[in-house]
Amino acid sequence: MNTKLVSIACILSCAASSLTAGTFRLQHPMLFGMTIQFPHTIQETPDIRAYCSGHIIKGTVDHKNKTLFFSVPEDRYKTTFTLLITNAHAIGCTATDNTIQHLKIDTKHPYKLYVLTLKERVITSSTPTKEPRTEFIWDIERITLPADDSRIPDNTVIVCYNPDFIDKLEGGNAVTLPTLYVKNNIISLVGSESKLHEKSIELLLASLDYDAIHATIKEHVKPCYASKTVLTLTT
């Protein structure tokens, strides 16, 4: 009797381009990545406070790459987001019997409000033998709130920062929101890097008033093994 040892390798690739947005999110539920990119001319990356769906979102500072990374809690099937960038002093709320009904913004303060919509785009290869591939891109639309209604849309991602410092939003995919790029001449705008950090600290302190109405996200680490090997004997 001949015995053969058969190795069955099941390769699970989380980044496979053939996966749909929904399939990918099943493996990474309720978290979207968001990055704020500072120019590489600064020495240290400032910290920024953000909020979403009643949660405080603390960024992970990367001084080497001059970035802040946020994990945004949301429904894994959500394909439309609202993003607000404004000074914390501009944010208020409407409450009834000590219960907050909704957040609102003082439109006298500068703000930038965007609607982000995830869309699929099919890319056809110039090589006939290659199958078309699908990529996911964000449609970015800047909007303004009506003059008679300053209510911030529910579940808006709120970034407490000076909107005049933000140059553009670009990129993103099925699990990451577009990157917020800070203006390359930010040092010239504020006068010096020390002043940039002073302003960032002021914005963080101003946001402390809103920490009380937001919960801190409890982080969970879940291992994701890239591959598994199953051994079986056959005769």
pLDDT of residue 212: 54
Residue 232 or residue 74, greater confidence: 74
pLDDT given for residue 15 in this prediction: 36
Q: What's the average model confidence in pLDDT over 85-113?
A: 81
Residue 145 has pLDDT above 90, yes or no: no
What is the per-residue pLDDT for 29?
A: 44
46 confidence band (pLDDT: 50, 70, 90): very high
Compare 54 and 219 and report the one with higher pLDDT: 54
- For residue 155, which amino acid is it? N
pLDDT band at 23 (very low <50, low <70, confident <90, very high): very low
In the predicted model, what is the mean pLDDT of the chain? 77
Per-residue confidence (pLDDT) for residue 18, from 0 to 100 = 38
| pLDDT (0 to 100) of residue 56 | 86
Amino acid code (one letter) for 67: T
Q: What is the domain partition of the chain in residue ranges?
A: 20-210
Residue 2 has pLDDT above 60, yes or no: no
Q: 215 pLDDT exceeds 80?
A: no
Q: What pLDDT score was predicted for residue 135? A: 86
Does the pLDDT at position 43 exceed 90?
A: yes
Q: Look at residue 44 and tell me whether its pLDDT is greater than 90.
A: yes
